[in-house]
Structure 1
Amino acid sequence: MYVLLTAMPHLKKPRKVEPLSKLWDRKAQKCGLRHTVYSVNGDEYTGDWLDSKKHGKGTQIWKKGRAIYDGDWKYGKRDGYGTYSKLLSATNDDSACYEGEWSEDQRSGWGRMYYDNGDIYEGEWLKNKHHGQGMLRLANENRYEGNWKYGKKNGHGKFFYQDKGQLYEGFWVDGVAKCGTVSDFGREEAPTPTIYPIPKVHLLDVRSVLMETQSTYHGE
């Protein structure tokens, strides 16, 4: 008996084909420096990318809020040093501007804020609030220098009443002055000075009295 042997056809190994969905995702991945990328809502971003997230140096423009951020990014969030300004709707003048440090998309660290009402804050921030040492200069030139906690005056500080020519020095609790001393300061140059100067304090040890009162409040 004879057995007829036939050659088996050579089967080619099928080529791996990448699904179109994965191909599109891979091509859409943004890494490195790119030109301006426009969002469907009209926002614009020009700068560095990493794994499709803003990362490095970049400028973001928000169309709806007419706001601009220029600075450092980290995994899609403002992080590092940068400036943020919001424009008035009628003009192109800055209505509010912040320049300083950011963390996790919030003002944290040192920074300077120009408010649209003319006030200026310069100092430490934490999660978008004044926190730590800082100075707030009001539009009328009066100013506070001292400690802050979560956006409120807390601890020791000085408030300069430039309009009256007086200085209050003491301590605050949740934005309220609790105990301190008031003295004349630049009264001669003040636009609306008090009628009479403040008499001198005749306590032998003013600081000890203030410290004792301060400890009472802290003990509450």
Structure 2
Amino acid sequence: MWDVFNEPQGAIQSPTDRMDNLVVNVLGNIREKSRKRDYDMQTTHSRFEPQQPLGGEADVRTTAAPNHLKSRKHGVLSMYSDTKQRMKQHAREYDFMPFLQAARRNPSRSALPDDKAKKRGRRATVFSVTGDEYTGEWLDNKKHGRGTQVWKKSGSIYNGEWKMGKRDGFGTYSVLVPDTKTYAKKYCGEWKNGMKHGHGTFLYHRCSVYEGQWSEDQRSGWGRMLFNGGDTYEGDWTKDKEHGLGIRRYANGNWYEGSWRDGKKNGKGKLYYCDRGHLYEGLWVRGEPKCGTLEDFGGDHAAQPAKCPIPQVKLADMEMVLQEAHLAHLNC
């Protein structure tokens, strides 16, 4: 039996051309084998034909060919016809079918129960193995939408929006006060990817409050901070520290306006000593004044005016100073 799927080697051909070449090769093999079998049948049949004797008289004995040899040619032709029909039918189907079978897209039987078991929509309270509980909306077995999460170990609670298992959107985070067994708000504002991000208000210990912009759980952007001692800061923040331009008002009435860096005065700035009636304006480095001027500023109304006022400095002879400066410039 010849290999009907043996394809010629060569350049890449279209499915129709490949099928035509396959049919031609198969039919050629069939014809060649059919001719060879016909020749074998004729050679075998000649053995049983009556032969002329040496004397010239015909031999009256005749022997017919066996029945299996008579039907041999008919069987070859029948096989040739059937094979041709099958190859034509295969060629018609070949033009409409790809080489490879399409991948199976239907989910397996084991995947269907797992997909149905995923939590979706709003559900009742769900308890975890750690004792935490969640009540709210789900999507693909993850917290998604509005919901309330209670942590058993810390006693804290979050009520707000979720996205794919993380706090995302607007929400309120509260902690449990052990003495009163009540919840106190800790943060109220925007969240992203489980962290404080956007505008929000955070309440620190000892009544310190921050209201402003957040980025990845850190104060970043514009914000206002009320410290527990009574000081206030309003201005720019970066990585949880005062950084940029801002104003800090102290509890004693003094206030600083200028540049900040890593939580300290740095750069140009003004410090108003309202309790003494002085004003310092100049350059600051890491929270310390380095170069500037100090002058009186509302000393008459100061709570603790200086005992010795700052004397006013004047030039004794302005024209002489200018001439000396001009001569020094020409000599250079």
Fold equivalence (TM over 0.5): yes
Q: Residue 48 of structure 1 aligns to a residue in which SS?
A: strand
Q: TM-score, normalised by structure 2?
A: 0.51
Query: What amino acid maps onto 2:306 in structure 1?
Result: T
Aligned to 1:18: 114
Cα RMSD between the aligned structures?
A: 2.6
Aligned to 1:29: 142
Aligned to 2:189: 71
Query: Does residue 48 of the first structure (1) align with residue 161 of the second (2)?
Result: yes
Distance 2:313 2:249 in 1: 28
Preserved CA contact (<8 Å) 1:67 1:87:
no
- Which deviates the most, 60-69 or 100-109? 60-69
Larger-Rg structure: 2
1:32-53, Cα deviation, whole Å (9 max, x unpaired): 122x321112111111110111
1:144-182, Cα deviation, whole Å (9 max, x unpaired): 110001111110000011110111000111111101001
Please report how far the alpha carbon of residue 141 of structure 1 lies from its aligned counterpart in structure 2 after TM superposition: 1.1
Distance 1:14 1:84 in 2: 50
The structure-2 alpha-carbon separation of the partners of 1:87 and 1:174, relative to structure 1 and needing over 3 Å to count, comes to closer
Distance 2:210 2:190 in 1: 14
Preserved CA contact (<8 Å) 1:67 1:86:
no
Please report how far the alpha carbon of residue 112 of structure 1 lies from its aligned counterpart in structure 2 after TM superposition: 0.5
Q: As a proportion of its length, which structure holds more strand?
A: 1
The structure-2 alpha-carbon separation of the partners of 1:160 and 1:71, relative to structure 1 and needing over 3 Å to count, comes to same
Preserved CA contact (<8 Å) 2:118 2:141:
no
Aligned to 1:213: none
Please report how far the alpha carbon of residue 28 of structure 1 lies from its aligned counterpart in structure 2 after TM superposition: 4.9
Counterpart of 1:119 (choices 228, 231, 238) is 231
Q: As a proportion of its length, which structure holds more helix?
A: 2
Counterpart of 1:84 (choices 195, 202, 214) is 202
Q: TM-score, normalised by structure 1?
A: 0.76
1:195-216, Cα deviation, whole Å (9 max, x unpaired): 1321234479xxxxxxxxxxxx
Counterpart of 1:160 (choices 272, 281, 285) is 272
Query: What amino acid maps onto 1:187 in structure 2?
Result: G
Preserved CA contact (<8 Å) 1:86 1:96:
yes
The structure-2 alpha-carbon separation of the partners of 1:202 and 1:52, relative to structure 1 and needing over 3 Å to count, comes to farther
Preserved CA contact (<8 Å) 1:147 1:153:
yes
Unaligned runs of 5+ in 2: 1-107, 120-127, 129-137, 179-183, 319-332
Aligned residues: 185
Please report how far the alpha carbon of residue 14 of structure 1 lies from its aligned counterpart in structure 2 after TM superposition: 4.4
- Equivalence map 1:204-215=2 (5 Å): none
Query: What amino acid maps onto 2:232 in structure 1?
Result: I
Unaligned runs of 5+ in 1: 1-12, 89-94, 205-220
